[in-house]
Structure 1
């Protein structure tokens, strides 16, 4: 039970302490369970890729199902494969050029808003970045304007809180128990259902010949024979897409900006590259390869604070991982957060050093030493879009502003479904 209390209170400390104390393979007792924690690239490769068919979604994601339903993040088996097939075409690399303009236009709006805050009280950049990533998600994948939906971020926060509560209690508390956060969750779920219904209503019957994710999901959900099941499935899949599709990128951008603030040499070099590559113009897709240093900065931010910080799996059949026996039904953990800070894999692992990602220094690095979006068949489907979005937005902001945290402000990680920043990110906005 002590480990369960630690999991509820400080999940990052639990994983970091286990890696430091027990090495690259350990068994962690949590309530009536034993978690098998593996923290080496070859072990991760085995679980996530080589023998991926033996591993289903594990602790945390299984329990989050009570909050998120059977969306792409929590589903398994044939349903997961069907869902992945539905959304996959919209994330193909050849479509990134089409999505680039939506990213840039949302970035332009953010820049304009921040210009209006120059010299004022600090702006909560988490809120600004959440609005930006939701706007990008609506324009790129849903072909819908999400700006009219109030309190989306608040509702998603309530859903994440409930999902983490399910993990900490192993779903032992019934949903009907009138705890404050469970009441917030029920209100949030009703609100998100209303959002989904309104998006479907706006789309109308014009879905068959359209190729955005919303239309594809509507067509797929109509295969359900029961109208109630159709509505629930569409809600589960869209809420998961909306949550995962904006949260990971917003978190990555927040961590990147906070790290840049502490390294003025990085900020200066970012601005120099953005001016040299873009001049005073808005970026276009072809500019992406002209921002190599910006890309390295984002990659290093994701090393220190990976958006997908924990990859839980459950073994269907018994297995052997690096000589260690894993029994059938065991819960297995791969933790990118600890892998990315492994002293045997990275020099000065806790320091911020974008130069780690130069081609020369990447040469010879174990492939699975760096897995910020997961790996294997279940790798994050939106990783290419999220990376493009982060690089362009960082370049656009670095060219225009010096964004600074208040003196003494501590940025604290909050390990939820993604590794977000606890309590917002207040930053002062100044022009160069």
Structure 2
């Protein structure tokens, strides 16, 4: 084992931190370009941050030695707003939550939700049909509204169509707030105190209140027997009926945290994936034409069924390529609970390890022409032999995204049904820029024109 991974000397850290605050992705690129696939950044005496960028490193940290790594300190600010749900919890609490929720997200159970998803997409398309051809929409906003509608109906039996704008604004505000805290090293010790002295914290509290009011209404409606066309138990039923080993019910605070987690994570990542996919398709006419040909040939105008999934090969390749270039969750961080060795380099207990999907997905040693939009790289003949952790939009290992099957059915459905009836084109002269927050949203509104297909 080598003594210490390459990286900058301590006196260079202030400059690197300033760049990381203003442009985290550029900072990562520059650091890796200078020092290689493994970089150690000195954080404090005896403690460092390690950047690992190869698929083998991902597999080691998230799968082979996952028991040696817990949620990093960077998750603390996120807990201030979404609480201790499945994303932010650790240890025994996480194990209990995962056992409770996992059965609801099996592929068979998620397939049962397909009719609710189809109905939500159809409502959006019917709304579009009432608009003049050439209407300009914000793709990020409309996809967020769609996926919120899907999550509300399918997981919580709730009609959230009237909450689209307020929830979208609240999620954006909260993501900005969390990101500001994470970027400021002075706030890492106490995010709660930092929030109280940070500019705009009242705005952040109002955004949190907006989310909490929606959650409270959903719970109250269920307790009062009001539903949204439910035919089978859903996630909210499972949470309300959950019992711990001593027979006690889930606490009101924990119930709130779990619901907020799925509201924010369940719709935000899928919306971001769909927005970037629509953008990329507008830049590649030949890719979009092939997508339209597949959709028309396989479906002939009807909604996709479970039996169609294997036939929509190009559709899934397009979505995978969009998530490769713009992974909704662009970085994953863990804190080492014990000494370890990754790729021959030492990691000490207390060190922070970063395995960023954004860099893993664009590694030139793994991906040919990594900056290009080329869905064919995900066709079976080209994907064969690729390291299974070279593509990690849903993380990996035991802590991988519990909703990956739900998300893939959702985004395939949405993209196929939109493609059947519409083309969305980016306004001339506009080039989206990633906004690095908790997820990888576009920085500005993604203005696109709606045009009906002939």
TM bin (shorter chain): over 0.9
Structure-2 residue corresponding to 1:213? 235
Structure-1 residue corresponding to 2:96? 82
Match of 1:15 among 25, 28, 43: 28
Structure 2 CA distance, aligned partners of 1:198 and 1:31?
45
Q: Is the 8 A contact 1:19 1:338 kept in 2?
A: no
Structure-2 residue corresponding to 1:101? 115
Match of 2:418 among 397, 402, 412: 397
215-224 vs 422-431, greater mean Cα deviation: 215-224
Superposed displacement of residue 31, structure 1: 7.3
Q: Secondary structure at the match of 2:112?
A: helix
Structure-1 residue corresponding to 2:168? 153
Structure 1 CA distance, aligned partners of 2:197 and 2:248?
30
Structure 2 CA distance, aligned partners of 1:140 and 1:272?
30
Superposed displacement of residue 134, structure 1: 0.5
Q: Output the aligned Cα RMSD.
A: 2.3
1:199 aligns with 2:218: yes
Q: Secondary structure at the match of 1:72?
A: coil
Deviations 1:333-358 (A, max 9, x none): 00111011110001100000010011
Give the direction of change, closer, same or farther, for the CA distance of 1:67–1:166 in structure 2 (3 Å limit). Answer: farther
1:128 aligns with 2:142: yes
Structure-1 residue corresponding to 2:152? 138
Q: Is the 8 A contact 1:139 1:145 kept in 2?
A: yes
Superposed displacement of residue 3, structure 1: 2.7
Match of 1:92 among 76, 99, 106: 106
Structure-2 residue corresponding to 1:24? 37
Structure-2 residue corresponding to 1:2? 15
Q: Secondary structure at the match of 1:369?
A: coil
Structure 1 CA distance, aligned partners of 2:348 and 2:160?
46
Match of 1:381 among 402, 421, 424: 402
Q: Secondary structure at the match of 1:287?
A: helix
Superposed displacement of residue 185, structure 1: 1.2
Superposed displacement of residue 145, structure 1: 1.5
Structure-2 residue corresponding to 1:351? 372
Q: Secondary structure at the match of 2:131?
A: coil
213-222 vs 101-110, greater mean Cα deviation: 213-222
Structure-1 residue corresponding to 2:360? 339
Structure 2 CA distance, aligned partners of 1:273 and 1:18?
42
Structure-2 residue corresponding to 1:256? 277
Structure 2 CA distance, aligned partners of 1:65 and 1:221?
23
Structure-1 residue corresponding to 2:81? 67
Deviations 1:138-192 (A, max 9, x none): 1211122122336111111222122212211243562563544311111122222
Superposed displacement of residue 49, structure 1: 0.3
Structure 2 CA distance, aligned partners of 1:74 and 1:237?
10
| Structure 2 stretches lacking a partner, 5+ long | 1-13
- Give the paired residue count: 430
140-149 vs 313-322, greater mean Cα deviation: 140-149
Q: Is the 8 A contact 1:221 1:234 kept in 2?
A: no
Structure-2 residue corresponding to 1:311? 332
Match of 2:200 among 172, 181, 206: 181
Deviations 1:225-269 (A, max 9, x none): 999x92222222111111000011000000100000000001111
Deviations 1:367-388 (A, max 9, x none): 1111111000011111111111
Structure 1 CA distance, aligned partners of 2:195 and 2:354?
30
Q: Secondary structure at the match of 1:367?
A: coil
Match of 2:443 among 407, 419, 422: 422
The two structures have a TM-score, normalised by structure 1, of 0.94
Q: Is the 8 A contact 2:124 2:146 kept in 1?
A: yes
Give the direction of change, closer, same or farther, for the CA distance of 1:177–1:356 in structure 2 (3 Å limit). Answer: same
Deviations 1:89-109 (A, max 9, x none): 111011132111112111112
Structure 1 CA distance, aligned partners of 2:205 and 2:378?
44
296-305 vs 115-124, greater mean Cα deviation: 115-124
Q: Is the 8 A contact 1:60 1:166 kept in 2?
A: no
The two structures have a TM-score, normalised by structure 2, of 0.89
Deviations 1:57-113 (A, max 9, x none): 114223322232211111100111111122211110111321111121111122222
Structure-1 residue corresponding to 2:10? none
